[in-house]
Amino acid sequence: MLSVLIRRAALTTPGLASTLHLAAALAGDERPYGAWHAEWPTLRDLARRTVVAAHHTSELLRGLCVEAVRIGATAERAWPDLTAERRSMAAFAGGEPADGPYLGLAETTVTTVLARANAYLEATR
C-alpha cells in the first residue's frame, strides 16, 4: 500500500509544480494580484506531499528485504524478455548487441542507493 501512496504523490505533484511555476512566472512585481495567492497554497500542498511521501518511503525501506539470489534467479529466467529491446534496437541498427555487461551502472547505482538507505535506517533507529 505504501508504494501506491508514494506513486500517488509522484503522479499528482507535477501539476502542482506547474501551478507554482506559472504563478511565479507572473510575478512582474513583488506581489501581483492572484499569482501570489496561488503560490502559497500550492507550495503548502507540495511540501505536505513531499513530507508524506518521504515518510512512506522511509517506512517502505524499513521493511525492505532484498533476496539477491532470488532476484538473480528471476532475472535469469526472464533474461530473453529483459534483453528484447536491446536485441530489437541492434537489429534495427543492422547489427548485433554489443558484448559486455548489459546493465551498465545499474548494479552500482542500486548497490549505492541501498547502502545509503541502510545507513539512514541505522542512524534513525
pLDDT value of residue 24 = 82
pLDDT value of residue 50 = 94
pLDDT value of residue 5 = 94
Tell me which residue range forms the domain holding 32. Answer: 1-64
Pick the last residue of a domain from 45, 64, 83: 64
In a shared domain, residues 71 and 35: no
In a shared domain, residues 59 and 70: no
In a shared domain, residues 2 and 53: yes
In a shared domain, residues 78 and 39: no
* pLDDT tens column, 69-86: 999 899 889 988 888 888
CA of 100: how far to CAs of 84, 97, 112, in Å?
A: 16, 9, 21
The list of the chain residues with pLDDT below 50 reads none
Cβ atoms of residues 52 and 62 within 8 Å: no
In a shared domain, residues 27 and 15: yes
pLDDT value of residue 10 = 93
Pick the last residue of a domain from 64, 81, 100: 64
Q: What is the tally of helices (H) and strands (E) in the chain?
A: 6, 0
Cβ atoms of residues 60 and 2 within 8 Å: yes
pLDDT value of residue 73 = 92
In a shared domain, residues 98 and 112: yes
